[in-house]
């Protein structure tokens, strides 16, 4: 094997290693259209409701937001996330 062949083999090995390195992380990424479990969907809905509530009542004090949530929990007999959703919906109905 002369020097030219040795360099060519080394170059091919480096190119092969580079391609493998480039493709490896993309193969381990999660598939985007996989169905989520009901628990994951609930966490997604919960965080969406919380973000929406925080955005709508951003100018309200922390004590005011907590009082509003507690009032809706007592009125509707529901959990915290549902109380936030109901308060946000009522605010949007009243402010259209």
Q: In terms of residue numbers, what domain contains 82?
A: 54-96
Residue 16 lies in a domain: no
Handedness of CA 38, 43, 46, 47 (dihedral sign): negative
In a domain, 83, yes or no: yes
| pLDDT given at position 41 | 59
The residues near 52 (Cβ < 8 Å, ≥ 6 apart) are: 84, 85, 88
Q: Considering the domain boundaries, does residue 49 fall inside one?
A: no
Closest CA to 65 of 73, 54, 75, 76: 54
Higher-confidence residue of 78 and 35: namely: 78
Our count of domains for the chain comes to 1
pLDDT band at 64 (very low <50, low <70, confident <90, very high): very high
Token pair 């109901």 in the structure block, residue:
86
Q: Where are the alpha helices (DSSP H) in 1-96?
A: 3-27, 38-56, 62-76, 80-94
How far is it, in rounded angstroms, from Cα 19 to Cα 70? Answer: 57
Evaluate whether residue 26 is within a structural domain.
Answer: no
Residue 11 in domain: no
Answer whether residue 15 is part of any domain.
no
Is 72 a residue whose pLDDT tops 70?
A: yes
pLDDT in tens, 5-33: 888 999 999 998 888 877 776 655 555 66
Tokens standing for residue 52: 């929406």
């Amino acid at each position: 094997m002369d020097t030219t062949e040795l360099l060519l083999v080394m170059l091919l090995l480096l190119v092969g290693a580079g391609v493998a390195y480039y493709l490896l992380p993309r193969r381990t990424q999660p598939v985007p259209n996989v169905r989520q479990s009901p628990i994951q969907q609930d966490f997604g809905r919960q965080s969406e409701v919380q973000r929406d509530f925080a955005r709508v009542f951003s100018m309200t004090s922390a004590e005011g937001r907590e009082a509003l949530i507690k009032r809706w929990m007592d009125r509707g007999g529901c959990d915290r996330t549902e109380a936030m959703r109901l308060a946000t919906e009522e605010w949007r109905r009243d402010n259209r």
